[in-house]
Amino acid sequence: MRAVNQPVRKKDAMSLVTGKPVYMDDVINHENCLIVKVLRSPHANAIVESVQKAAAEKVPGIEAIYTWEDVPGQRFTMAGQTYPEPSPYDRLILDRHVRYIGDPVAIVAGDSEKAVDKALKILKVNYQVLEPLLDFRAAKDNKILVHPEDSWKSLCPVGADNQRNLCASGESGDGDIEAVLADCDIVVENTYHTKACQQAMMETFRTYCSIDAYGRLNVLSSTQIVFHVRRILSNALGIPKSMIRVAKPRIGGGFGAKQSVVAEVFPAFVTWMTKKPSRMIYTRRESQIASSPRHEMEVSVRIGAMKDGRIRGIDVYTLSNTGAYGEHGPTTVGLSGHKSIPLYGTPEAHRFRYDVVYTNVMSAGAYRGYGATQGIFAVESAVNELAAKLNMDPVVLREKNMVREGQIMPAYYGEKTNSCALDRCVERAKQMIGWDNKYPCRDMGNGKVRSVGMAMAMQGSGISGVDVGSATIKMNEEGYYTMIIGAADMGTGCDTILAQMAAECLDCPVDAITVFGADTDASPYDSGSYASSTTYVTGKAVEKACEKLREKILAKGAELLNCGPGEAEFDGERVFCAATGDSVDLKTIGTSAMNGNRTALEVTETNSSPVSPPPFMCGMAEIEQDKETGQVELVDYVAVVDCGTVVNPNLARVQTEGGIAQGIGMALFENIQYSDKGHLFENTLMQYKIPTRLDVGKIRVEFESSYEPTGPFGAKSIGEIVINTPSPAIAQAVYNATGHWFRELPITAEKIAMALADD
């Protein structure tokens, strides 16, 4: 293949490395643009009794101040999901009932930052302070209701009930789990706790709004989901979708954070009311305290096995904390079971139960891995604990039980693994790290122990039967192509990856394809870039569109050659007539399509997949454990990934390295702690420690490709799976060094040192 599977440079690469102005705040007109900020609640649960805004309104330069009385009264969700959204409609732009420290109370717009800050300072709010519900373990059926209101509404049957603090609840399974576990030689049972980690993309949330020549609301936002933003704003503002246009510039990272509407509603409301341009840029602090982080989960696992290591039953119960609002609550929890249990092929029985509860902390959202990360930490840790109990090498235990190609996965909606190289991934990772020489540990004789740990992981490729990907491809004069997409390149390189696929189909250089996206007025419909969908779902749409365009080019060329289309051939550069030997080049075809032409050399195709083929991987960590201080140093991390055909080896590698670094952060450093009043301590990058380049050791990545028959050129996804292995692999390495299992993340040096001191 000449374009697919090549390490092509990203189309925007040189602009990015030379610092060109391509992000939201670089490209807008700052003149006469209102600055929008919000006043945030200092209470975790309170009713706004009154807001005295007269004095603040008098601050010179203040344009408007809005409170709950000024905004529409219909509830909506900020989750970027396909309608009808599983996430409940539990939000207002501003609510009289504020439900976490940071919940917006008032919107202030003014012509300078100083004016707005001053107005925020002198706004007076009287609150009726209520007792907050902060313990998610006590939330279900608690007497404190986070959403007591009658206007709360759930659109889908996800087991939600606001009178019980339930955002979702459910159960699925196969076989008689209790009977199978009772019959096992050994049952391992433990509970694992992961925190509400922040995506911490370097560009915080931000949106610019203006009114166009047609009186429509134009939104330029750093978002992964332009079409969902259009619907959400329409719901929030109570205006028709036809009055809204949403586009995205380059995005400074997303990782799922920007799969929810976070900043958009506030400037959109201001601009719609004032008809003036406005912008909102979240500070890092706001991004930490009032955004869309990972769902905190407590996952209880029971695994039953025989002495020979045969796993017979897996039982998972997940308690997920959605916080004050339900964005992505009902769906993230599903992955904690559906993308962890199926790693073990076909146990005789499995069961997966869950509750998702409301509490008075920041609402959660979508973060790379989307529940699978939490579930895999739990299930993979439990399997590692099982290996220890059986006194069996965890790699051997995996070899006996892991899912293989061609198996039906009962816990994965009964789907079959058409492509699965997990066995090869484990084998290769083992060789790369030198597992047999290093497992379980080696005392280095200087107070330090080197040890290893491992984990497997899977994810999906898009949401089966739901996600829609589309592409428009058109030929222009001179024979170059324009591809228009609604998927969002957030640094992942999907503009380039999709262009590689188009170039492969059209037999042309990648440079002959220009990419435009994403803009709700111009792009064909696409659910957006999330759920590891773009390469797999939109990629297939690109393939389909290009095939059709080839036919059109062929027909046009044949027409120019006076040749029947059946006798003509197209090689990417010219159309040939077999009978006469005449040919016409692309440039001529493109140019003649602009002169007396009656067929558009343009095709739009849409794709959705009934299945979501999982990518698989294996990660192995080698750490150096300080027995005194508890300090863990990453020495080596190897990852071997099966993402089907690797469309762009460079970009897939960097995705993997980046996901692993984030996973290392989650495993060791990134903590989220609340005070007994509901105040979040880790509210800056000073307290919330994301890894630096000194913290990640050496990360080595290889690919063991399978071929996914339903994917474009055999490809599956890669964006999310890569964050899933570090937590369980590092936890096992720490156990191998210290003899202690740490079942709560992050596994900080303090926690380890304390456990060692108790020995």
Partner 1 sequence: MKVTVTVNGRKIQEEIDADLLLIDFLRNHGCMSVKRGCDTSNCGLCTVMLDGKPVLSCSVLTARADGHKVETLEGLQAEAEEFGAFIADQGAEQCGFCNPGFMMNALALFRENPEPDVEEIKEYLAGNLCRCSGYEGQLRGILNFLAWKKEGRP
> With CB cut-offs between 5 and 8 Å by kind, which of ligand FES, partner 1, none does residue 692 bind?
partner 1
> With CB cut-offs between 5 and 8 Å by kind, which of ligand FES, partner 1, none does residue 7 bind?
partner 1
- Closest approach, Cβ 4 to ligand FES, in A, equals 24
Query: What is the rounded distance in angstroms from the CA atom of residue 414 to the CA atom of residue 287?
Result: 39
Binding mask 398-437 for ligand FES (x = CB under 6 A): ----------------------------------------
Q: Which of 685, 749, 753, 755 forms a contact with partner 1 (CB under 8 A)?
A: 685
For position 757 contacting partner 1 by CB under 8 A, the verdict is no
Written as one string, the DSSP assignment of 11-32 is: TTHHHHHTT-S-BHHHHS--TT
Q: Are 465 and 476 in contact (CB under 8 A)?
A: no
- 3-state helix/strand/coil string of 578-638: CCCCCEEEHHHHHHHCCCCCCCCCEEEEEECCCCCCCCEEEEEEEEEEECCCCCEEEEEEE
Determine the Cα angle at 229 with ends 224 and 231, to 5°.
145
> With CB cut-offs between 5 and 8 Å by kind, which of partner 1, ligand FES, none does residue 404 bind?
none
For position 249 contacting ligand FES by CB under 6 A, the verdict is no
- Closest approach, Cβ 283 to partner 1, in A, equals 6
Residue 373 vs residues 65, 311, 338, 446: alpha-carbon distances, Å: 41, 21, 11, 35
Site for ligand FES in 166-205 (CB under 6 A): 202
Site for partner 1 in 602-631 (CB under 8 A): none
Binding mask 22-41 for partner 1 (x = CB under 8 A): xx-xx---------------
> Where in 396-447 does DSSP place strands (E)?
408-409, 415-416, 441-443
Nearer to partner 1, 699 or 715 (CB): 699
Q: Give me the residue whose beta carbon is nearest to ligand FES.
A: 202
- Closest approach, Cβ 202 to ligand FES, in A, equals 4
Q: Which of 329, 491, 493, 697 forms a contact with ligand FES (CB under 6 A)?
A: 491
Among 365, 119, 161, which Cα is nearest to 256's?
A: 365
Supply 372's token pair. 């699978």
Query: What is the rounded distance in angstroms from the CA atom of residue 131 to the CA atom of residue 360?
Result: 10
Nearer to ligand FES, 138 or 202 (CB): 202
Among 109, 112, 95, 111, which Cα is nearest to 45's?
A: 95
* Amino acid residing at 377: F
Helix count and strand count (H, E) for the chain: 19, 29
Q: Which stretch binds partner 1 (CB under 8 A): 37-45, 246-254, 597-605, 743-751?
A: 246-254
Among 708, 485, 495, 714, which Cα is nearest to 607's?
A: 485
Residue 80 vs residues 432, 462, 518: alpha-carbon distances, Å: 40, 14, 15
Site for partner 1 in 266-305 (CB under 8 A): 283-285
Residue 127 vs residues 105, 185, 320, 676: alpha-carbon distances, Å: 10, 58, 29, 19
> With CB cut-offs between 5 and 8 Å by kind, which of partner 1, ligand FES, none does residue 10 bind?
partner 1
Nearer to partner 1, 199 or 260 (CB): 199
- In sequence order, the β-bridge partners of residue 415 are 409
Binding mask 693-732 for partner 1 (x = CB under 8 A): xx-x-xx---------------------------------
> With CB cut-offs between 5 and 8 Å by kind, which of ligand FES, partner 1, none does residue 21 bind?
partner 1
Q: Are 340 and 316 in contact (CB under 8 A)?
A: yes
> With CB cut-offs between 5 and 8 Å by kind, which of ligand FES, partner 1, none does residue 304 bind?
none
> With CB cut-offs between 5 and 8 Å by kind, which of partner 1, ligand FES, none does residue 22 bind?
partner 1
Backbone angles phi, psi at 128, to 5 degrees: -95, 105
For position 480 contacting partner 1 by CB under 8 A, the verdict is no
Q: Which stretch binds partner 1 (CB under 8 A): 68-76, 136-144, 178-186, 484-492?
A: 484-492
Site for partner 1 in 628-667 (CB under 8 A): 648, 650-651, 653-654, 656-662
> With CB cut-offs between 5 and 8 Å by kind, which of partner 1, ligand FES, none does residue 17 bind?
partner 1
Nearer to ligand FES, 199 or 384 (CB): 199
For position 253 contacting ligand FES by CB under 6 A, the verdict is yes
Nearer to partner 1, 16 or 388 (CB): 16
Binding mask 180-209 for partner 1 (x = CB under 8 A): -------------------xxxxxx-----
Residue 47 vs residues 51, 75, 88, 90: alpha-carbon distances, Å: 11, 17, 21, 16
Nearer to ligand FES, 13 or 55 (CB): 13
Written as one string, the DSSP assignment of 247-293 is: E--B-S--TTGGGB-SSTHHHHHHHHHH-S-EEEE--HHHHHHSS--
Q: How many binding residues for partner 1 (CB under 8 A)?
A: 58
For position 110 contacting ligand FES by CB under 6 A, the verdict is no
First to last CA, the chain: 58
For position 659 contacting ligand FES by CB under 6 A, the verdict is no
- Closest approach, Cβ 198 to partner 1, in A, equals 10
Query: What is the rounded distance in angstroms from the CA atom of residue 459 to the CA atom of residue 339?
Result: 6
* Amino acid residing at 167: C
* Amino acid residing at 664: I
- Closest approach, Cβ 637 to partner 1, in A, equals 9
Q: Which of 1, 2, 14, 49 forms a contact with partner 1 (CB under 8 A)?
A: 14
Nearer to partner 1, 699 or 737 (CB): 699
Nearer to partner 1, 632 or 690 (CB): 690
Q: Are 412 and 173 in contact (CB under 8 A)?
A: no
Q: Which stretch binds partner 1 (CB under 8 A): 9-17, 122-130, 153-161, 318-326?
A: 9-17
Query: What is the rounded distance in angstroms from the CA atom of residue 440 to the CA atom of residue 348?
Result: 30
For position 52 contacting partner 1 by CB under 8 A, the verdict is no
Look-up of token digits 């006194």: 391
> With CB cut-offs between 5 and 8 Å by kind, which of ligand FES, partner 1, none does residue 54 bind?
none
Instruction: Give every CB contact of residue 458 below 8 A, 6+ residues apart in sequence.
Output: 339, 342, 343, 372, 376, 403, 422, 614, 615, 616, 617, 721, 724
Nearer to ligand FES, 211 or 685 (CB): 685
Q: Which of 66, 76, 136, 255 forms a contact with partner 1 (CB under 8 A)?
A: 255
* Amino acid residing at 419: S
Calculate the CA 583 to chain-centre distance: 48
Supply 355's token pair. 């509750």
Residues at the site binding partner 1, with contacts judged by CB under 8 A: 7, 9-10, 12-23, 25-26, 199-204, 250-255, 283-285, 490-493, 648, 650-651, 653-654, 656-662, 684-686, 690, 692-694, 696, 698-699
Residues at the site binding ligand FES, with contacts judged by CB under 6 A: 202, 253, 491
